[in-house]
């Protein structure tokens, strides 16, 4: 399918794989989409800023870059930073079309329904989009797709007016008469207000007057503060809604000066906010921010998980604002048609963006129109990379499933550096533009959004799964059943039932059958430091004590890691340490226990501040102190081992000290957590056979330890 992407300050139309429907979402074939002159064009301009100019404007990112260089080395850090800053990005946040597929849990929409969609993460300028139910609303029969495609702009305008709480007879000023400003004017008039509009462009002021605005102000001609005072008998206006976009602080200052005592100013647009206390203080003004489409915006549980707010407690959510805007259009109480200057076919998307970049002859509002598609036409969910090298059987042909930040930071660059061992056959990602971009950057033969594609592909020997944690176990099982070897990022599974299913798969294999290799990404054991420690303790004569400290750092509680997708930090990250204990002790466990602190504030989770104790059958005892309470400036991981008169200390996988046995110190230039060595070990067993790099018993046991500790933490 075709989709508009932004790169280096330019819009381009690309062929990308169509998305797959997911639970709680709908798949929509787009008929029209609306280009945001403000939000999108600022993103286009930002993507064209050279790296050195960005560094000057964002010094905090320079510090992060230096930290990345220190941890990863210059070459890898430079490659990562460059890929981030030059990456293609999707564009669009308002569209309308027809429902193609319905995801599980969506019961009030049907295939064929006409819908409008919102969200900069979903409602792209693309022929097919996947949108969560709470960001999708039915279109009234009387309304065209073109008008409905402006639904996001309408919801933003509505929310701004709701924040202002206008009453009959009040006087309001709307500053900035772009598309949202023109809709704001009409909404205020519908509330019985007297409306004054203000804009630098006389054509916009004239359009506002045609749409019902009472008075227009052109700052180049009029003194806004004096004129509004004269129009309000010297009292000042009741409120100002700012829908302008400018880096200047003067807009807000003028807005405050135009208000009466106890007035209010609502910010909808993007303006400079160097506030002058004197502008607000004397009049005791209220300054309010309007967050996009309404309550629910930027809330994962609402937008992605479909959790609605009861109408008795939250009358107007972003979804209800969208519905109300379309109703007002359908009943002709709002007019958006006069704001639409031009409609470009999707094929001319680049021309549309170039027109919007022209400051002198810029259109007012621009839509994209999509070509009609025959009913039943299959969605293309695979795009071949014509620049890729052909695969060969002398290397492991692998598919990377999940092209998120960790895969791009670690696995994909390492696979590229191990080209003598691996051939990257495919990239799978839930978003097509990400799959295609990664496939082109790392030389994969094709990109796809459909996991089934790689499972059915006979040219793929193995899959590397790097998706969110709740998908690991079902994806592992599907791949094993398809005869693919599997390297899955930790955790292997989130529940004991999932673990049992994986065990049962291997128990059910016939003796004569070819057994696919399963390896969980417990990379710590492949670190050169950890291997040295293993050699030092291999021939010990007594049990040992292992103390591991993980200063994990704080992650906000609404982050996906804490959700059902992530399974929490014990199962999602601490499992690394449980496997390291198994690797070093090399005996089965006897007992597991854990105790967590009970935070006195809701800032911290109980399940990511705990001490776990594991006793092994040889008498060794290992403890893990896992905490989010510490400072991130302090080193993250530290392991101390006491054994046979020796003390072995590993600091952040870069410094290794041994005392009591030929005392020595190893200070590495950068941390070595074994990610590359893990891939080498996986390829070795696939190409040469032999024992698995991590036994199935250890993979299962490390996951069981995490599950047992999770029970202790409840």
Cβ pair 124, 100 in contact under 8 A = no
Task: Measure the CA–CA gap between 485 and 479, rounded to whole angstroms.
Answer: 7
Task: Kindly list the distances between the CA atom of residue 351 and the CA atoms of 223, 346, 347, 354, 356, in Å, as whole numbers in the listed order.
Answer: 38, 10, 9, 5, 9
Q: What is the CA radius of gyration of the chain?
A: 29
Distance CA 349, CA 279 (A): 43
Q: Is the predicted pLDDT of residue 62 greater than 70, yes or no? A: no
CB 117 within 8 A of CB 97: yes
Distance CA 699, CA 522 (A): 8
What is the 8-class DSSP label of residue 630? Answer: S
Q: How confident is the model at residue 378 (pLDDT cuts 50, 70, 90)?
A: confident
Beta strands in 281-436 (DSSP E): 286-289, 342-345, 366-369, 382-384, 396-401, 422-428
Predicted confidence at residue 119, as pLDDT, reads: 95
Residues 177-201 have a mean pLDDT of 96
Tokens of 351: 């021309």
Mean pLDDT of 574-581: 98
pLDDT at 263: 97
Tokens describing residue 56:
């000057």
Res. 342: pLDDT tops 70? yes
| pLDDT range class, residue 512, cuts 50, 70, 90 | low
Report how far residue 414's alpha carbon sits from residue 76's, in angstroms, rounded to the nearest whole number.
10
Cα of 100 vs its chain's centroid, Å:
24
From residue 318, give the alpha-carbon distance in Å to each of 119, 158, 181, 292, 469.
10, 10, 18, 8, 29
Q: What is the pLDDT of residues 216-274, one digit of tens each?
A: 999 878 899 999 999 999 999 999 999 998 899 999 999 999 999 999 999 999 999 99
Residues 6+ apart with CB under 8 A from 551: 627, 630, 631, 632, 634, 635, 636, 637, 638
Rounded Cα–Cα distance for residues 427 and 613 (Å): 40
pLDDT band at 505 (very low <50, low <70, confident <90, very high): very high
What confidence score (pLDDT) does residue 413 get? 95
Residue 87 pLDDT exceeds 80: no
Q: Pairing relation of β-strands 396-401 and 462-465?
A: parallel
pLDDT the model gives residue 221? 80
Give the residue from 100, 101, 105, 98 showing the smallest Cα distance to 24: 105
Helix, strand, coil % (nearest 5) of the chain? 35, 25, 40
Whole-angstrom CA distances from 215 to 237, 280, 313, 539, 589 are 13, 25, 37, 89, 79
Domains of the chain: 2-150+300-369 (3.90.180.10), 153-289 (3.40.50.720), 391-520 (3.40.50.720), 523-713 (3.30.360.10)
Pair of tokens at residue 394: 């002398």
Q: Is the dihedral of CA 458, 460, 462, 467 positive or negative?
A: negative
Gap between the Cα atoms of 506 and 7, Å rounded: 47
The Cβ-side half-sphere exposure at 666, using a 13 Å CA radius, reads 18
Query: Rounded to whole angstroms, how far apart are CA atoms 306 and 296?
Result: 10
Parallel/antiparallel/unpaired status of strands 128-132 and 259-267: unpaired
Give the integer Cα–Cα distance in Å for 671 and 70. Answer: 9
- DSSP class of residue 124 equals -
pLDDT category, 48, cuts 50, 70, 90? low
DSSP secondary structure letter of residue 390: P
Give the C-alpha separation, 576 to 582, whole Å.
10
pLDDT band with cut points at 50, 70 and 90 for residue 68 = low
Give me the residues paired with residue 613 across strands.
593, 623
- The DSSP call for residue 488 is E
Going by C-alpha positions, the residue among 289, 318, 323 that lies closest to residue 304 is: 318
Q: What is the mean pLDDT of residues 166-184?
A: 96
Angstrom distance (rounded) from CA 151 to CA 73: 47
pLDDT value of position 393: 81
**Lowest-confidence region among 17-21, 86-90, 409-413, 522-526:** 86-90
pLDDT tens for each residue of 382-406: 999 999 988 888 899 999 999 999 9
Q: Please, what is the average pLDDT of the chain? A: 91
Q: How far is CA 294 from CA 162, 164, 317, in A?
A: 9, 13, 5
Per-residue pLDDT tens for 667-688? 655 789 999 999 999 999 999 9
For residue 600, how many other CB atoms are within 10 A of its CB? 7
Tokens at 231, concatenated? 């129009």
The CA dihedral of 306, 312, 316, 317, to the nearest 10 degrees, is: -10
Give 49's pLDDT tier (boundaries 50, 70, 90): low
CB 401 within 8 A of CB 464: yes
C-beta separation of 536 from 528 below 8 A: no
Following CA atoms 251, 252, 253, 258 in sequence, which dihedral angle do they give, to the nearest 10 degrees?
90
Helix (H), strand (E) at residue 683: helix 675-688
Q: Please report the pLDDT score of residue 61 as a whole number.
A: 63
Contact indicator for 681, 693 with CB cutoff of 8 Å: yes
**63-77, 151-165, 454-468, 559-573: least confident range:** 63-77
Structure confidence by residue, pLDDT tens digits, 303-340 = 999 999 999 999 999 999 999 999 999 999 999 999 99
Q: Cα separation of 444 and 1, whole Å?
A: 19
Please, which pLDDT band fits residue 702 given cuts at 50, 70 and 90?
Answer: very high
Question: What length does the chain have?
Answer: 714
Among the listed residues 243, 307, 250, 296, the one whose alpha carbon sits nearest the alpha carbon of residue 276: 250
So what's the pLDDT on residue 100? Answer: 96
Taking the C-alpha atoms of residue 184 and residue 182, their distance in angstroms, rounded to an integer, is 5
Cβ atoms of 453 and 401 closer than 8 Å = no
Average pLDDT (17-28) is 97
DSSP state of 471: G
Bridge partners of 396? 422
Structure tokens at 433: 């533009």
Q: 627 with 609: CB under 8 angstroms?
A: yes
User: Which tokens is 245 given?
Assistant: 């976009």
The pLDDT, as a whole number, for residue 59 is 65
Whether the pLDDT of residue 67 is over 80: the answer is: no
In DSSP terms, 423 is beta-bridged to 397
Three-state DSSP at 347 gives helix
- Identify the band that residue 55 occupies on the pLDDT scale cut at 50, 70 and 90: low
Residue 356: per-residue pLDDT: 84
459 torsion bin: left (phi>0), alpha (psi -120 to 50), beta (else)? alpha
Rounded (5°) CA angle 341-342-347: 160
Instruction: Concatenate the DSSP letters of all residues of 17-48 into one string.
Output: PPPPP-TTEEEEEEEEEEE-TTHHHHHHHHHT
pLDDT per position as a tens digit, 607-657: 899 999 999 999 999 999 999 999 988 999 999 999 999 999 999 999 999
């Amino acid at each position: 399918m075709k989709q508009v992407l932004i790169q280096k300050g330019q819009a381009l139309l690309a062929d990308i794989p169509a998305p797959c429907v997911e639970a709680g979402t709908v798949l929509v074939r787009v008929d029209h989409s609306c280009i945001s002159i403000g939000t999108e064009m600022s993103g286009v301009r930002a993507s064209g800023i050279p790296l050195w100019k960005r560094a000057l404007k964002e010094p905090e990112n320079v510090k992060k870059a230096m930290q990345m260089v220190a941890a990863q080395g210059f070459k890898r850090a430079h490659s990562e930073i460059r890929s981030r800053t030059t990456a293609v990005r999707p564009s669009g946040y308002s569209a309308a079309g027809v429902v193609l597929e319905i995801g599980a849990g969506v019961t009030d929409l049907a295939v064929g329904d006409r819908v409008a969609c919102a969200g900069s993460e979903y409602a792209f300028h693309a022929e097919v989009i996947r949108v969560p139910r709470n960001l999708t609303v039915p279109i009234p029969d009387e309304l065209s797709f073109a008008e409905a495609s402006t639904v996001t702009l309408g919801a933003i305008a509505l929310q701004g007016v709701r924040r202002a709480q206008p009453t009959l007879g009040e006087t309001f000023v709307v500053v900035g008469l772009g598309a949202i400003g023109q809709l704001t004017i009409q909404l205020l008039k519908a509330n019985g207000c007297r409306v004054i509009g203000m804009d630098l462009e006389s054509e916009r002021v004239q359009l506002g007057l045609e749409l019902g605005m009472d008075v227009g102000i052109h700052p180049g001609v009029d003194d806004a503060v004096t004129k509004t005072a004269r129009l309000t008998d010297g009292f000042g206006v009741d409120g100002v809604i700012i829908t302008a976009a400018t880096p200047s602080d003067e807009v807000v200052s003028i807005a405050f000066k135009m208000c009466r005592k106890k007035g209010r100013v609502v910010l909808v647009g993007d303006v400079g906010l160097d506030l002058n206390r004197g502008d607000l203080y004397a009049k005791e003004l209220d300054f309010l921010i309007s967050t996009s489409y309404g309550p629910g915006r930027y809330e994962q549980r609402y937008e992605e998980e479909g959790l609605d707010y009861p109408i008795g407690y939250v009358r107007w959510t972003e979804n209800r604002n969208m519905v109300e805007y379309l109703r007002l259009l359908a009943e002709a109480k709002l007019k958006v048609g006069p704001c639409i200057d031009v409609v470009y076919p999707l094929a001319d998307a680049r021309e549309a963006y170039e027109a919007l970049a022209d400051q002198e002859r810029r259109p007012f509002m621009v839509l994209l129109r999509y070509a009609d598609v025959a009913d039943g036409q299959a969605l293309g969910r695979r795009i071949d990379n014509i620049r890729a090298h052909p695969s060969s059987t002398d290397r492991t042909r692998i598919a990377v499933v999940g092209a998120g930040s960790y895969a791009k930071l670690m696995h994909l660059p390492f696979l590229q550096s191990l080209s003598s061992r691996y051939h990257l056959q495919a990239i799978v990602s839930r978003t097509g533009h990400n799959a295609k971009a990664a496939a082109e950057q790392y030389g994969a033969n094709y990109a796809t959004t459909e996991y089934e594609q790689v499972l059915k592909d006979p040219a793929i020997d193995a899959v590397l799964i790097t998706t969110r944690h709740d998908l690991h176990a079902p994806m592992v099982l599907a791949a094993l059943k398809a005869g693919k070897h599997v390297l899955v990022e930790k955790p292997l599974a989130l529940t004991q039932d999932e673990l049992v299913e994986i065990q049962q798969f291997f128990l059910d294999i016939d003796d004569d059958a070819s057994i696919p290799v399963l390896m969980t990404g417990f990379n710590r054991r492949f670190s050169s430091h950890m291997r040295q420690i293993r050699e030092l303790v291999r021939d010990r004569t007594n049990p040992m004590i292992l103390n591991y400290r993980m200063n994990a750092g704080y992650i906000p509680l609404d982050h996906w890691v804490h959700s059902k997708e992530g399974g929490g930090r014990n199962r999602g990250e601490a499992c690394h340490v449980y496997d390291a204990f198994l690797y070093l002790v090399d005996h089965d466990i006897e007992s597991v226990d854990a105790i967590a602190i009970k935070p006195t504030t809701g800032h911290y989770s109980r399940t990511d501040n705990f001490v776990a104790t594991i006793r092994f059958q040889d008498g060794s005892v290992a403890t893990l102190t896992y905490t989010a309470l510490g400072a991130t400036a302090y080193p993250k991981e530290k392991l101390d081992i006491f054994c046979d008169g020796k003390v072995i200390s590993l600091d952040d996988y870069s410094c290794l000290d041994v005392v009591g046995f030929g005392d020595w110190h190893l200070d590495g230039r950068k941390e070595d957590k074994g990610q590359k060595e893990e891939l080498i070990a996986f390829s070795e067993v696939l190409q040469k056979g032999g024992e698995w790099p991590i036994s199935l018993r250890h993979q299962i046991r490390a996951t069981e330890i995490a599950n047992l500790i999770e029970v202790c933490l409840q």
